[in-house]
Structure 1
């Protein structure tokens, strides 16, 4: 769940695709010049130079993927525009929904039925987080895109379990759901939900491993979520109320860790008088 890095926009020098008066022999000089320019542009943000005027020269820039792009494709020049950092939106959506459900898990104010979380789970934790994942794909951040889209779907999937229309819990049109009280399969509800949580524990384990080269803040967030799934999955299998409370407590910690990461990604020297450290763990070049 890391945002896209910002870069300094620079205009690349045109590459003459029709030869160079200084290149002789078998063309190795032209090939060497091409490779040198591509290497020099490797960390530059893509720019649009505008076509026309010099038919003998094809000016090129780099796409976000690091490949040469023909800038004479005026009709799709907007595909090279930059996208704002979607990480704060995704993390805030995830953290808010996680915090609310975790407060229910510790039964704050005596609340034991979690269905009121649906407002967040369908919109902020589901839709907003899923859209943030799609925007992360556009910025080239595979990790952030995968995590946000996955957990957006997690909240939608959890919502399906709670909405009576889908036939899992409660009663719809007078008919009890598969796991509703009075159904012959009601006794399977906890085991089924527990399996759902354990599957997500496995997915989160993969994300936890991948986060070890991100930042300390990111690793702490996913680690706390990982522990939360352990306690909630164990509670679903055992029915031990203490495990549910522990899962709720770690879920609350997960929510606040997410708020920290989202705020740290949101604040910058351009919009704030201070910033928050995340302590990068990535490989230094």
Structure 2
């Protein structure tokens, strides 16, 4: 009896993270100033729900790193969505900053795990913890320049995440090894 082939959930999770991060980061960088509501649907469904689903499938495949990362960042986007909708009441800029710094600490620890994974994840997590710290401190200090810097860093983070996820899709479709050092192809 042969085992059923399963799709790799990482490209979905990375793409949901990347697209949502790119759009929010364009606002944080000051490149766009109107229509911020566009981020909310992405946060709820593509950044949030899609990453949580990817995390569940990473759990089922036995990938602790993928499960922890996707589920945590999916929950982050759901928190962002519900906070922006006012579900948790009035949240101050300083408290948002604290949450962002806390996610920066989490991401810094996850980045250490990427040292044994691949260059794409290493770069994504490196840029992401820097993004979280810039945005967190920027919010706590009410520094628009730090928030803008965090926005630009977030754009770079999104590009790295998209590359990391989509190169695995291209490699699987083309049947070739992708230029990541250790691609995210389906694990056995």
Normalized against structure 1, the TM-score is what?
A: 0.60
State how far apart, in whole Å, the 1-side matches of 2:165 and 2:145 are. Answer: 30
CA-based RMSD: 1.9
1:227 counterpart = 2:130: yes
Q: Which runs of 5+ in 1 are unaligned?
A: 1-46, 49-79, 169-177, 180-188
State how far apart, in whole Å, the 1-side matches of 2:109 and 2:85 are. Answer: 29
- What stretches of structure 1 move > 6 A for 4+ residues in a row? none
- 2:48 counterpart residue number: 126
- 1:198 counterpart residue number: 101
1:266 counterpart = 2:188: no
State how far apart, in whole Å, the 1-side matches of 2:59 and 2:175 are. Answer: 30
- 1:1-285 equivalences under 5 Å are 47=1, 81-111=4-34, 114-164=36-86, 166-168=87-89, 178-179=90-91, 189-268=92-171, 271-272=173-174, 276-280=178-182
- 2:186 counterpart residue number: none
**Does the 8 A contact of 1:93 with 1:125 survive in 2?**
yes
State how far apart, in whole Å, the 2-side matches of 1:274 and 1:253 are. Answer: 26
State how far apart, in whole Å, the 1-side matches of 2:105 and 2:36 are. Answer: 24
- 1:39 counterpart residue number: none
**Does the 8 A contact of 2:134 with 2:149 survive in 1?**
yes
Per the TM alignment, residue 82 of structure 1 is displaced from its structure 2 partner at its CA by: 3.9
**Does the 8 A contact of 2:52 with 2:71 survive in 1?**
yes
State how far apart, in whole Å, the 2-side matches of 1:91 and 1:167 are. Answer: 27
User: Number of matched residues?
Assistant: 183
Per the TM alignment, residue 109 of structure 1 is displaced from its structure 2 partner at its CA by: 3.5
**Does the 8 A contact of 2:55 with 2:68 survive in 1?**
yes
State how far apart, in whole Å, the 1-side matches of 2:123 and 2:110 are. Answer: 12
Larger relative contact order, structure 1 or 2 (CA cutoff 8 Å, min sep 6): 2
Per the TM alignment, residue 81 of structure 1 is displaced from its structure 2 partner at its CA by: 3.7
State how far apart, in whole Å, the 1-side matches of 2:98 and 2:26 are. Answer: 22
The SS at the match of 2:136 is helix
State how far apart, in whole Å, the 1-side matches of 2:106 and 2:116 are. Answer: 18
- 1:54 counterpart residue number: none
